[in-house]
Amino acid sequence: MALSYLEAVLCFMILMFIFETYLDIRQHRALKLPTLPKPLLGVISDEKFERSRAYSLDKSYFHFVHEFVTILMDTTILYYRSVPWFWKKSGELVTNVGLNAENEIIHTLAFLAGAMVWSKITDLSFSIYSTFVIEARHGFNKQTIWLFIRDMIKGVLLFMILGPPIVAAIIYIVQIGGPYLDIYLFGFMFALALLMMTIYPIVIAPLFNKFTPLPEGVLREKIEKLAASLKFPLKKLFVVDGSTRSSHSNAYMYGFFKNKRIVLYDTLIQQCTNEDEIVSVIAHELGHWKLNHIVYSFVAVQLLMFLQFGGYTLLLMFLQFGGYTLVRNSKDLFQSFGFEDQPIITGLIIFQHTRIPIQHLLSFCLNLVSRAFEFQADAFAKNLGYAPQLRAALVKLHEENLSAMNTDPWYSAYHYSHPPLVERLQALEDSDAKKND
């Protein structure tokens, strides 16, 4: 007896959970190893190693619980057709408050609002435990409960402001798109991506963090000199108060064309007391820019998005006209997931679940590319003469962030977008050896 569409999706979800749990078990065993990898002996202090080991194991135990609860909830929701039930109830709610449930945009907004509330409720306990227990236990959390609540409220308000017009536009485009639906959807999402990349660092990010210009001094002079030598159009150099929430450190850049900006976390400046170490991290980031990694990544994401919309358009065509390639007919597909009617949001939900196999494969491939880019950016910084400083910075950041020192090769190959510390240090040493040869 052939599996229904829903049963096939559930089977794949469970199989992926089993596979990823197997990888998690492999990683957990690696984290429990009582000694450092040989390349890190004498490089990482024993005290930092024990702290990073304890932190990583705590996060690993938490991850097992979180993933089990997540797959249990997701499969239960799908199996018992809770989504179509909630779609029906959200329509009744819209009618009860005097609105027109026949208006698909209004009905969809009510449905998504309820879904957001459910998501916040189910995720809240995990977020609180992760932030105020695990992160606090290991000295990373700097948030107060009030700041945590305030950030959550701001996030909800942003969703309420930005969500309705975006959702309304998507539904309208699908309604009028016709045979060119994928092109229209892609064009809209491409424009939206550019808009969000523009306004997020200027309008949204400052709602959560304070950005101040990096003070005049040696560090600023060295960063500006490096940027000028590479013809990087640096317009502003900021420090963000990441320490108000966490002790983790980072640095990034953003901006289009000749309006580039660099942001340093204050924790990065505190942890790397040597200015040249901080500059080496910036050299790595500038390597991504100089080698066009940012452009390649953006183009790849947009191409994948276009292909996904093409797949969604294909699905809609099958749903509307019937077909025998991916689905037999629209009625069977929707009924398999428990839907009586065929609103656009339900088609998107079905599509999101049916593309899970491809999504996992694409994620793996993108991680492979990302790791290659990281090696190239490290080599770029090394060629600028920052190899010793970058090694020292990588070691210090891994120590201060209590990053995992022992990693399982299968787990890291599947999950990591950045190479493990051992591999990055080895690559820098190998490039030095090749140069000497």
381 CB contacts (<8 Å, ≥6 apart)? 280, 283, 284, 287, 387, 390
Nearest C-alpha neighbor of 352 from the set 360, 330, 277? 360
Among residues 347, 336, 335, 296, the alpha carbon closest in space to that of 174 is found at 347
Bridge-partner residues for 263, per DSSP?
Answer: 238, 252
Distance CA 286, CA 253 (A): 8
Instruction: Establish how many alpha carbons lie within 13 A of residue 126's alpha carbon, considering only the half-sphere containing its beta carbon.
Output: 16
Distance, in Å, from the CA atom of 392 to the CA atom of 273, rounded to the nearest integer, reads 11
How far is 354 from 413, CA to CA, in rounded Å?
A: 25
Q: Which residues contact 277 (CB under 8 A, 6 or more apart)?
A: 389, 390, 392, 393, 396
In this structure, what token pair is assigned to residue 167?
């959702």
Residue the block writes with tokens 């609540």:
149
Q: Which two tokens stand for residue 379?
A: 């080599």
Q: How buried is residue 390: exposed, middle or buried, by Cβ count under 10 Å (0-12/13-18/19+)? A: buried
| Residues in CB range of 102: below 8 A, 6 or more apart | none
293 is in an annotated binding site: no
Residue 239 β-bridge partners: 212, 264
Residue 284, marked binder: yes
The 10 Å CB-count burial string (b at 16+, else e) for 73-103 is eebeebeeeebbeebbebbebbeeeeeebee
Catalytically active residues, by annotation: 285, 378
What span, in angstroms and rounded, lies between the C-alpha atoms of 406 and 44? 12
Q: Are strands 260-265 and 251-254 parallel, antiparallel or unpaired?
A: antiparallel
Structure tokens at 142: 């700097």
Please report, as a single letter, which amino acid is at residue 99.
L
Question: Is 288 annotated to bind ligand?
Answer: yes
Spell out a b/e string for 182-200, using b for 16 or more CB atoms within 10 Å of the CB, else e: bebbbebbeeeeeeeeeee
Binding residues: 284, 288, 374
Binding residues for Zn(2+): 284, 288, 374
